[in-house]
Structure 1
Amino acid sequence: MQQDSIGSSGEGIGDAKVIETTGRGRDEWFGILDEAGAASWTHPEIAAWLAADQGVDRWWSQHLTVAYEQARGIRSPGQRQDGSFEASVSRTVDLDAVDALHALANLVAAELGVEPLARNTSARHPTARFHLDGGEFVLAGSSPRGDGRSSISLTWGRMPDGSRIADVKAALREWLGRVG
Structure 2
Amino acid sequence: MAAVSPQKMSDERMLEATGRVRADWHALLDAAGARDWAHPRIARWLVEEHGIDGWWAQGVTVGFEQAIGRRLPGQRADGTFEASVTKTLGAAREAVLDQVIAILVEQLGEPASLSPDSLYSTARWKIADETVVAAISEPKPGKTLVALTRSRILDGETLDAAKSELRGILGRLGPSGGG
Q: TM-score, normalised by structure 1?
A: 0.91
Superposition pairs of residues 80-99 of structure 1, within 5 angstroms: 80-99=76-95
Report the Cα distance in structure 2 between the residues aligned to 1:26 and 1:123, rounded to whole angstroms.
34
8 Å CA contact retained: 1:80, 1:86: yes
Could you tell me which residue of structure 2 aligns to residue 37 of structure 1?
33
User: How far does the alpha carbon of each residue in 1:116-168 deviate from its partner, in whole angstroms, 9 at most, with x for none?
Assistant: 011111112111101112x1111011011222120001100111121110011
Report the Cα distance in structure 1 between the residues aligned to 2:66 and 2:47, rounded to whole angstroms.
19
Could you tell me which residue of structure 2 aligns to residue 48 of structure 1?
44
What letter matches 1:123 in structure 2?
S
Report the Cα distance in structure 1 between the residues aligned to 2:16 and 2:139, rounded to whole angstroms.
24
What letter matches 1:137 in structure 2?
T
> Which runs of 4 or more aligned residues in structure 1 lie more than 6 Å from their structure 2 counterparts after TM superposition?
none
Report the Cα distance in structure 2 between the residues aligned to 1:119 and 1:10, rounded to whole angstroms.
31
Could you tell me which residue of structure 2 aligns to residue 4 of structure 1?
none
Could you tell me which residue of structure 1 aligns to residue 162 of structure 2?
168
User: How far does the alpha carbon of each residue in 1:12-37 deviate from its partner, in whole angstroms, 9 at most, with x for none?
Assistant: 11100111111110001100111111
Report the Cα distance in structure 1 between the residues aligned to 2:31 and 2:89, rounded to whole angstroms.
45
8 Å CA contact retained: 1:18, 1:25: yes
Report the Cα distance in structure 1 between the residues aligned to 2:51 and 2:116, rounded to whole angstroms.
37
**Aligned-pair distance for 1:106?**
1.0
What letter matches 1:52 in structure 2?
E
Report the Cα distance in structure 1 between the residues aligned to 2:103 and 2:68, rounded to whole angstroms.
39
RMSD (Å), alpha carbons: 1.2
Superposition pairs of residues 97-108 of structure 1, within 5 angstroms: 97-108=93-104
Could you tell me which residue of structure 2 aligns to residue 15 of structure 1?
11
The size of the alignment, in residue pairs, is 171
Percent of paired sites with the same residue = 40
User: How far does the alpha carbon of each residue in 1:63-100 deviate from its partner, in whole angstroms, 9 at most, with x for none?
Assistant: 10011101111111111111111100001012211211
